[in-house]
Amino acid sequence: MSVHAVSVLAALLVVLSGTAVGGVPLELQTTGAYAVVTENSVHTPVETVRLGETSVDVSATSPHDGYEPLNVTVVAPADEAVRVELFDANGDRRTALTPSADGTVSIPTDALSSGTYYIAVRAEGQIRAAERAVVSRHDVTFSAIESASTADELRFRIGIIPGGDIPYRDVEVVATDGTDEVVVSATEVRLGLYEATVDRTSLPPGEHAVYARLVGRPGPYVGMSDAVAVTVEGEASQEGQSVTTGTVTDVATEDAESLSTTDGVGVTTTRFPETGVVLLLALLLAGGVMYRVRRRR
């Protein structure tokens, strides 16, 4: 089988599963035939935000390096003239750009401080889709702690190198399945190093995205790590039943590796890969909803 055929088959499997690479369900990443696509997006509970004069449902968040341009790909119907707009946390528009012929656009971040922003695609005068973007000059790393994780608790470590613009007042770890989320505060163990514990029993069986975020002082979120996918296997304990806990023998730090426990409850963690190219190919195979975006004249 050729490499091209394998690539097409992989994209087709994404379409059939209804889930985009990176943990963002395809149907929630798009609004009709419109979508904002960025790398390392995390599917989050739906939140309605006010962008200008429009109320928009947002269900994805992605981290961005404040020292690099914010790269976006727009999905829209054929020959649709669209604009990509960037809004700040107050819902005020900061910039508007026209995508190139292939639907991509790079938003400069030089004038942006660390903080929460919203990337929106506008067509025919209306905002059609939007995604939250956490732009940060703080360097945030996130990993699981192998020796401290058990069948009942998942332990995580966060490393932070401050970027020097907007300070943060708290560090949180978020575990979300896209519908609900569990948020715990991290504890500083030494300068720039934090740890947090997520109660496994608070997570229903299934896949969850887990990541760290920095709460600003003042303002909303001023930093976000890449996410890891945590798959909780097995049923939660019920009244009258007991669950025997065990010791985690392995923890994934790259790709898909398994955490095995002595009670048979397994947790698999996977780092989210980049989403853009595969998602676009999947959309194309799903019915031609991805088209080249015409420049606004």
Is residue 210 helix, strand or coil? strand
Strands across the sheet with 153-161, in order?
Answer: 139-144, 153-161, 193-199, 187-190
Q: Which residue has the higher pLDDT, 141 or 264?
A: 141
Q: How confident is the model at residue 78 (pLDDT cuts 50, 70, 90)?
A: confident
Quote the percentage of the chain above a pLDDT of 70.
Answer: 67
Average pLDDT for 282-297 = 41
Amino acid of residue 36: V
Instruction: Report the candidate in 99, 106, 211, 116 with the shortest Cα–Cα distance to residue 154.
Output: 211
For 246-274, b/e burial (b = at least 16 CB within 10 A) is eebeebbeeeeebbbbeeebebbbbbbee
Q: Which domains does the chain have, with CATH numbers?
A: 3-136+274-287 (2.60.40.10), 139-271 (2.60.40.10)
The larger pLDDT score, comparing residue 63 to residue 27, is at 63
Residue 130 confidence class, pLDDT cut points 50, 70, 90 = very high
Higher-confidence position of 108 and 247: 108
- Mean pLDDT calculated for residue range 87-100: 96
Q: Per-residue pLDDT averaged across 8-28, rounded?
A: 33
Helices (H), the chain: 3-17, 26-29, 276-287
pLDDT of residue 231: 87
